[in-house]
Structure 1
Amino acid sequence: MRPLDERGAWAAKSKKEYDLDENGERIRLPSGRYKTHKVDLTGWNSQENALVWRKAWADISNYYLERAGSPERIDHRSNAERGIDEIPTVHMGVAACQMEKKGIATEKGELNRNIQKANRLIREIRAQIGKLKEWIADLFKARENAPEQTQQSPNLANLLMKYLSVQREKSRKYSQSWQRQHAADELKTIAAAVNYLSERGISNLDELDASLSSVSDRAYSIREGMKTAEQRMKELQKLLEHGRNYQTYKPIQDEYRQIRWKGKQEKFAEAHRAELTLWNAASRYLHANLTDTKTLPISKWKQEYADLKEQRDTDYTKLKATRAEVAELQKIRKCVDIALKAEQPEQTQNRAKRHEQER
């Protein structure tokens, strides 16, 4: 793309300026030429302009989405700006998207699927931990408002046994065979819950709350490690992509530079436009991100990517184990809730009896 001036004529996108030394003199290079740098004249590569354009695109898109009655909305801000503690997916690009549509798995597509999978898992864990935290907070609040003699933290093992007796009582109206099967299922649930609590030394709500905080911290720590690995994998993918393009199309770029006749050079450039464009993009990226582009450590990048992928997969397995732990806590919550509700009428009756005896 090129800019137009007020008369509709083509204008320059950039200009060269001479670098000057401390005395304000031009700096001569060993080749005899003067050292220069490129000055952008359009602002098209400005990060500030990119943000303005992104917001404008989101605003106009949302205007027409609303007019069309669609619930979807576009947000131009980054995850960090929106307070979303998730790593964004990789930009796929046209080639990778076309391959994925044809059912051909790509490295970018695979990385994106794994990032999305991990993001979904941590969202689920956070939501469940949030619910459990709210539940415990409500129980603590209820305990504070209860009579002094009932303010001590209830023993969880006793509550689980209470849950069993409540379930056994409820099942009496069903057939004997159903009661046996139901009792066996409930025993398995309670046995798993008791084992969980016993292994972690949890006996009351205070210890359960502390354990939940520990599970939460562990989940976030695992995800942070995964985010670091995924971020580096994204960087390595770009380096590998541009590194391959740089090496693959360098002979074409060298041949193009060796052509001295302008007409012949332009004809060659037209015939090899795609290859030269890819080489130029790769050259710009590599020079911006590497100190040395003479030798590209592509094998080293590949090995680092494979190591990070293995680490990320291991961490994902740990994250799934954490989700299973949170699921076990949810089961315990359900049992404790039922037991506490069953205890309330009993406590009310006991208080009434004490009041009668005192009178």
Structure 2
Amino acid sequence: MLSIALFHFHVTQIKRGAGQSAIASAAYRAGEKLHSEYYVEISDYTRKGGVICSEILLPSHAPPEYADHETLWNAVEKAERGKKAQLAYSFDIALQNEFSMQENIALARQFLLENFVSRGMMVDFAVHSPDKEDASISNPHFHVMCPIRPLDEHGRWGNKQRREYLLDEHGDRIRDEAGNYVFNAVPTTDWGKPETLEEWRQAWADLCNQKFAEKGLDCRIDHRSYERQGIEQIPTVHEGPPVRAMEAKGIRTDKGDFNRWVRKTNAMLREAKNKIASLLKWLKAVKEELSKPQPPMLNDLLMTYYNFKGGSKPSPVP
């Protein structure tokens, strides 16, 4: 029977409106010291531990100078003028403890090239493997940052959206009460669609499962939720390095307490489910046994004998 390995694939957006900086985010992930031209400040994470490698993957039409962290993300900040601009997609993806670090890095690079760069996306990724504290489980993972704004075929920044104007029955544009043309904003890429995220999650699971099979390991990962898999189990929440560091030091956290409750509850559910399954199995065996032909009782034999002789029926045997 195959066992279930770790699957974590989470995506958010880095937003200026939330006080976030693309330069600061990239510096943290790469463990580097980067200067932000937009905020006129320096983000220094050179003392951050656990950064195994950091790399930028570019499509063929991207300017080669974007292979530098500071150049790329300052260009992104400059291209986004809005105070609430959405700057980048940010992915947090778990690696597998069953693979070597070299295998994990190669797998991450293959996944990003086949699923992101092939779509014209620029990819800044970094592999992290925080030091284990006490007897905690290793948590290797990789971070990915991708600019939301695409590049055109000439390597210039393109549009995130295009306008689709609403037309009347005569094919003329419709105006609103203020006299402005009514339109829908349509994304120019499929990068932000739920269907694309689902495709990426499945592609990562398939790639890891292929590697498990190649290594002859009896474990797999599944990108679907427990509910979609038909598994009656409560999912835990992702704790993240800061929470795990606090828990390792004996500091209880809300997320840690919740996950402990989930694990205890799931154990109770599994025990109850196993007991119910055993009871149903026993009832099935009893039913099958009762359905078998039973040997005749003494009373049945006497009744048959007297009926055959034509005599009077005897009193029932107590």
Question: One fold, TM greater than 0.5?
Answer: no
The structure with the largest strand share of the pair is 2
- Give the TM-score category using the shorter length: 0.3 to 0.5
TM-score, length-scaled by structure 2: 0.39
